[in-house]
Amino acid sequence: MEAKKSLPILFAIMFLVMVGFGIIIPVLPFYAEEIGASPTELGLLMAVYSFMQLIFAPIWGRISDRIGRKPVIMIGILGLSLSFFLMAISTQLWMLFLARILGGFLSSANMPTVMAYVADITSEENRGKGMGVIGAATGLGFIFGPAIGGVFSETALGLPFYIAGGTSFVTFFIVMIVLKESLAPENRKRSERKNPFKQALNGPTSFLFFLQFFVSISLAGLEATFAYFAAEKADLDAVKLGYIFMIMGLAQAYVQGGLIGKLTKKWGEGTVIQIGIVISAVGFGLILLTDNFVTAAIYLTIFGIGNGLIRPGVSSLLTKKSTAGHGSTTGLLSSFDSLGRIIGPPLGGWLFSVSLGLPYLSGIVLSVVAIILFQSYSSRARKLAFEKN
């Protein structure tokens, strides 16, 4: 019953958080350029946010295992709101960097702690469904946020930052008033003694962290290059690309919000993860055949559906198999995801400069690597289970 009450609230919270985050995406490059940022400085401005998440997501996750989920979620959302308002009043480049660093540091608390909250309130049978709901909220927020930001930027370039800050500030109060704590005090003491970082280096679950890392590299590489690829191969402009990403996002949200729960219940997370990787690989291959708006939309959506199955499945499986607290586990997973998102764009850009299709061919290769990592996880887990028996 607790999950039925809390999951819609968590969905709304993450949707609002990601709308606020998405609002600034189409505006930030022009805003930074107006202040005086060069293309290199803009790249660093984008990367520093992910870098802060890489470092601090596991720390916030572990803190949530010690003091509870609700206060950490509140810190993350309030920090995001503060960073948006700081960006809105920035008049010099160092102020923008300060806002992005502060935002990355504090908002890195959001995703791992919300996923840990889901793990707290769901049974193992419904864990995949819960993780999928959060994935759907994130995806929908990314669809609506940039659209809102684009519309309001026509009025004033700084206005979207105030709207994003206000949206996050309202979300903070929703969490404070409506959301109940999910981690009982007796469970907090137990998780303090666990060392989550050992999981990344030892035991079967280490393969799942690295699987997510390679999947994130391939996704980030595609996101960084697809606009150029589609413009070259199919003569698509920014408006048509926006529609394509919206179609993909809606399909992905449908799969994560409804379908993944049924699939994990029927076949288990392991099968769903592997299906997702295979569909993603097929999507990468099909993207190479893009020649018009329709094919671009279909092929990217196929990729998006496959990719949308992977993260909720990995999150669900890790929170089931991990011996540390849920926050420590999801925080570490977010860190691996962030590392992939830092490496992916420059790697994808370099591959694209060598050959237009190379980022997508490498995506197929990375998908094969991900399948091998999952098989390694399964083999190691079976071996350990056999030794215990």
pLDDT digits (tens, 9 = 90+) for 219-257: 999 988 898 899 899 988 877 888 888 899 899 999 998
Q: Note whether 226 and 357 are same-domain residues.
A: yes
Tell me, yes or no, whether 189 lies in a domain: no
Q: Note whether 198 and 173 are same-domain residues.
A: no
CA distance 368 to 284: 12
CA-CA distances (angstroms) from residue 385 to 80, 201, 226, 320?
Answer: 43, 19, 43, 15
Domain end call among 117, 149, 179:
179
Token representation of residue 182: 């999910």
Report yes or no: 289 and 295 within 8 Å, Cβ to Cβ: yes
Continuous H helices in 68-109: 69-88, 93-107
Token representation of residue 175: 């969490």
Q: Note whether 218 and 324 are same-domain residues.
A: yes
Tell me, yes or no, whether 264 lies in a domain: yes
Lowest mean pLDDT among 34-43, 199-208, 315-324: 199-208
Check whether 316 has a pLDDT greater than 70. Answer: yes
Tell me, yes or no, whether 94 lies in a domain: yes
Tell me, yes or no, whether 226 lies in a domain: yes
Q: Note whether 82 and 205 are same-domain residues.
A: no
Q: Note whether 7 and 111 are same-domain residues.
A: yes
Domain count, the chain: 2
Check whether 3 has a pLDDT greater than 70. Answer: no
Crossing angle for the helix pair 293-321 and 127-153, nearest 10 degrees? 140
Token representation of residue 67: 């003091």
CA distance 214 to 224: 16
Report yes or no: 280 and 310 within 8 Å, Cβ to Cβ: yes
Q: Note whether 152 and 209 are same-domain residues.
A: no
Token representation of residue 291: 């020649």
Q: What are phi and psi of 80, to 5 degrees?
A: -65, -45
Tell me, yes or no, whether 133 lies in a domain: yes
Report yes or no: 71 and 122 within 8 Å, Cβ to Cβ: no
Report yes or no: 157 and 141 within 8 Å, Cβ to Cβ: no
Q: Using CB atoms within 10 A of its CB, is residue 276 exposed (0-12), middle (13-18) or buried (19+)?
A: buried
Domain end call among 154, 179, 204:
179
Tell me, yes or no, whether 223 lies in a domain: yes
CA distance 105 to 89: 19
Q: Note whether 108 and 205 are same-domain residues.
A: no
Q: Determine the structural domain holding residue 31 and report its residue range.
A: 1-179
Report yes or no: 221 and 307 within 8 Å, Cβ to Cβ: no
pLDDT at res. 24: 83
Q: Note whether 104 and 246 are same-domain residues.
A: no
Q: Note whether 128 and 217 are same-domain residues.
A: no
CA-CA distances (angstroms) from residue 105 to 32, 98, 227, 247, 334?
Answer: 20, 11, 29, 32, 13
Amino acid residing at 108:
S
Amino acid residing at 330:
T
pLDDT at res. 301: 96
Tell me, yes or no, whether 187 lies in a domain: no
CA dihedral (222, 223, 225, 226) positive or negative: positive
Tell me, yes or no, whether 184 lies in a domain: no
Check whether 385 has a pLDDT greater than 80. Answer: no
Q: Note whether 170 and 226 are same-domain residues.
A: no
What mean pLDDT value characterizes the chain?
Answer: 89
Residues 54-108 pLDDT 10s: 999 999 999 999 999 999 999 999 999 999 999 999 999 999 999 999 999 999 9
Q: Note whether 6 and 148 are same-domain residues.
A: yes
CA distance 349 to 206: 28
pLDDT at res. 381: 87
Averaged pLDDT for residues 300-328: 90
Domain end call among 144, 179, 214:
179
CATH number of the domain enclosing 365 = 1.20.1250.20
Question: How many CB atoms sit inside 10 A of residue 271's CB?
Answer: 13
Residues 163-214 pLDDT 10s: 999 999 999 999 999 999 998 887 775 545 556 566 556 778 889 999 999 9
CA distance 116 to 131: 9
Q: Using CB atoms within 10 A of its CB, is residue 364 exposed (0-12), middle (13-18) or buried (19+)?
A: middle
Q: Note whether 95 and 230 are same-domain residues.
A: no
